[in-house]
Structure 1
Amino acid sequence: MKIAVVGGGWAGLAAAVTLSQAGQQVSLFEMAGQPGGRARSLGGEEPRLDNGQHILIGAYRESLDLMRQVGARPDELLLRKPLRLRYPQHEGLRLPPGPPLPAFARAVLGYGAWPWRARLALLRASLGWTLNGFDCDPRLSVDALCQALPAAVRQELIDPLCVAALNTPAREASAQVFLRVLRDALFSGPGSADLLLPRRPLSELLAEPAAAWLEARDATLHWQRRISRLEAGPRLDGEAFDAVILACSAGEAARLAAPLAPDWAARAAALRFEPIVTVYLESPGSALPAPMVALHESAEQPAQFAFDLGQLGHAPGRFAFVISGAAPWVARGLEATGAAVLAQAQAALAWRSPPTLLRCLAEKRATFACTPGLQRPAAAVAPGLWAAGDYVDGPYPATLEGAVRSGRAAAQAVLAG
């Protein structure tokens, strides 16, 4: 079959690789001059900066499988560490190796920074979530789900995990999706909660190896090519295909699909998005207490996590500070955001040399807002037309794993059809 994939992010690449592996004739169209979508490295700089600090976890099995399929080596490209919420001045919750349920119980019971009452409350809540199959009323927010937990547990575990996984503050985030993330990350098997931190620029994890893999198998890759119109057939800009997968952004997919599937397009266009801001600092000779450090967020201290890129094999003395759910700070402006992060870094961490601001990057539509009861667009759009992307209906929030699973599922649907 002659199949078009519109979009060269992780979802589009997953779809294109799956189809090419099955012997189909694949044409991939990407507006940008490089693959990767919102998970890519910036061009023209050495050492390379990423458009945002991304991480994977051990539960991202399909992402890791796709990396291996295109010749990338996760064991070399990713630093694998057990889940550890290390704060600047003290050790946070840390999962030991072993079967997930006993490991989680040992981690909670052994965390002396929380009083016994708080530790037992978290274990009781976790037992309740487990007995309920990690499901709940879809109208619940994470705040409502966890309202009985002590403040220390919410502040040092629930809130940082929620904003990191869903990019939505706990007061607005879907408890149902949050529980699914907890189930797969913390309780689905040994190593599922492990943090996988990129040792190389982000584009080298999947985007560039996948593009080279596709080219070697005679897929046609069109860079800097925006599709103007989609017609029944399906046809892209007048060219006929047996099937089309829209693996572009939700807004772009809605624009293209509107003439053929107006209801689907309206649902995709109605999604609300949350930004992520990444602030890069430099401080020669400095190092953080761990490759990834959790930070206490406040009204004037925006970042939730900091990454020591030198410890990850990137440029020594370079650090990435991440602000998820960053809409209030985007509204203040990047200059004010960068200054606030610099002040937060100076107050919270010890430095060998005064840190300086290197760059402040905002991905204004980083992820959809994962709110309670959200109705996401389906993968099936119209005859011969499918959608793939982290926003498409599925069990995960907007993550790399969600994008890869969606791309593979759309490709399998095309093959089955």
Structure 2
Amino acid sequence: MRLAVIGAGWAGLACAVEATRLGHAVTLFEAAPMAGGRARRVDHMHGMALDNGQHILIGAYTATLALMRDVGVDVETALQRLPLSLRFADGGGLQLPAGKPPPLDLLIGIFTARGWTWRDKTSLLSTAVRWRLAGFRCAPGTSVATLCAGLTPRVMQELIEPLCVSALNTPVPQSSGQVFLRVLHDALFSGRGGADLLLPRVDLGALLPDAALAWLARHGATTRIGHRVRAIAPEDDKWRVDDDLFDQAVLACAPWDAARLVRATGLPAASRWCNVTEALRFEAIATVYVRGAAPLAEPMLALRSQPGSAPAQFVFDRGQLGGPAGVLAFVVSANETPRETLERQVLAQAGIQLGQPGLTPIQTVVEKRATFACTPGLARPPAAIAPGLQACGDYTEGPYPATLEGAILNGLAVGRSLATP
């Protein structure tokens, strides 16, 4: 089968690799000058390679890790594995022990959490037991705030809010409790090491896209990087993509681009798919890179975030993660603050919370539509759009929020669903 995959983000790469592995003749289109989508390497600034955002993987990302290995990435070298840690610069917060099976690791982490009172610890323990007895399920319309109503303010501030914003990129009051519980279950109860943090020690291009493109080239796929698809259209029982005819097509581009292409076909059957896709709301993620820093106590630290004054939730020491010494990456999720104000607030936050005033900004990368807003009861579009036309991406129907694992799982599922050639 001749297959067009439109978009070379992580979902499109996963789909293209899987379809090629199954024997299809794949042509991969990408409008940008490089692959990776919303998890990519950006231009070198000041002689250093930066990313469009600081991504975190966890040990439970089995599909992502398997795909990386399949295309030739040395996962153990590319990623630094650490126990789940939400520790702050002052030493407070929760950290799971290394090598312990669940739920023992969580119990140890709760009872050794620094700065927490017994009330804090017992509120989390009793709430976690209740979630587990309920099978990590709740009503679709439940928010994370409602789900966690019994927790103390400290547990909410130092555990739930950082976990929620890092996994769902949506503020706690507007986040889906159902999706949050799925993330917690898979991370904390799926098996030994599932909650481990896997921090990239290479740029995002080297983490998957570069190797995936090389794998596709070795296996006969065609890649058209820098080619923006103008239009798609059904033609008999095939699909025309610009000037080429394919047996099937997969839209692995951004949801707004996918909806634009589908709308232009005029297919009445696809109208509902476009309506659902166009109704999605999006949240921004900003990464503020600075230099001149002293090494942090850990490669990653949590930060106490306060709207309007201390916007960043996490900071990463790039010098401890294969990058240049003295460079920190501050991650600001679900925040629409203008760039200059954001930089000023982050520098002040670094001085107060890290004891490092006088840092110098290198570059601030803002993804204005980094993820869909993962709200309670959210309707997400299905993969199937019309006969011979599918979509894949972290925004299509699935149990996960907008994560790398969600994108990979959707891409692999679509690749496997294609008819046998």
The normalised TM-score by structure 2 is: 0.96
Pairwise CA distance, 1:412: 0.8
- 1:8-407 alignment to 2 at 5 Å? 8-45=8-45, 46-96=47-97, 97-232=99-234, 233-258=238-263, 259-260=266-267, 261-283=270-292, 286-299=294-307, 300-327=309-336, 329=337, 333-351=338-356, 354-407=358-411
Amino acid at match of 1:377: P
Pairwise CA distance, 1:416: 5.7
Pairwise CA distance, 1:112: 4.4
Q: 156-165 vs 118-127, which deviates more?
A: 118-127
Amino acid at match of 1:307: F
Task: Evaluate the alpha carbon distance shift between residue 249 and residue 98 of structure 1 in structure 2; reply closer, same or farther with a 3 A threshold.
Answer: same
| Distance in 1 between residues matched to 2:303 and 2:117, nearest whole Å | 21
| Distance in 2 between residues matched to 1:54 and 1:150, nearest whole Å | 29
Q: 96-105 vs 363-372, which deviates more?
A: 96-105
Percent identity reads 49
Q: What SS class does the counterpart of residue 276 from structure 2 fall into?
A: helix
Pairwise CA distance, 1:115: 1.3
The answer for the alignment partner of 1:413 in structure 2 is: 417
The CA deviation string for residues 237-268 of structure 1, in whole angstroms up to 9 with x for no partner, is 24221111110000011011122311101111
| Distance in 2 between residues matched to 1:125 and 1:346, nearest whole Å | 35
The CA deviation string for residues 46-101 of structure 1, in whole angstroms up to 9 with x for no partner, is 32010111110001000000000100011000000000111011142111121111
| Distance in 2 between residues matched to 1:27 and 1:303, nearest whole Å | 40
| Distance in 2 between residues matched to 1:109 and 1:88, nearest whole Å | 20
| Distance in 2 between residues matched to 1:382 and 1:404, nearest whole Å | 22
Structure 2: gaps (5+ residues):
none
Q: What SS class does the counterpart of residue 100 from structure 1 fall into?
A: coil
Pairwise CA distance, 1:354: 3.0
Amino acid at match of 1:389: G
Pairwise CA distance, 1:405: 0.3
Pairwise CA distance, 1:23: 1.6
Q: What SS class does the counterpart of residue 319 from structure 2 fall into?
A: coil
Amino acid at match of 1:160: P
Q: What SS class does the counterpart of residue 29 from structure 1 fall into?
A: strand
| Distance in 2 between residues matched to 1:69 and 1:375, nearest whole Å | 33
Pairwise CA distance, 1:176: 0.3
| Distance in 2 between residues matched to 1:11 and 1:134, nearest whole Å | 27
Structure 1: gaps (5+ residues):
none
| Distance in 2 between residues matched to 1:301 and 1:65, nearest whole Å | 37
Pairwise CA distance, 1:44: 4.0
Aligned partners of 2:93 and 2:114 also within 8 Å:
no
Pairwise CA distance, 1:184: 0.3
| RMSD of aligned alpha carbons | 1.2
Runs of 4 or more consecutive aligned structure 1 residues displaced over 4 Å after TM superposition: none
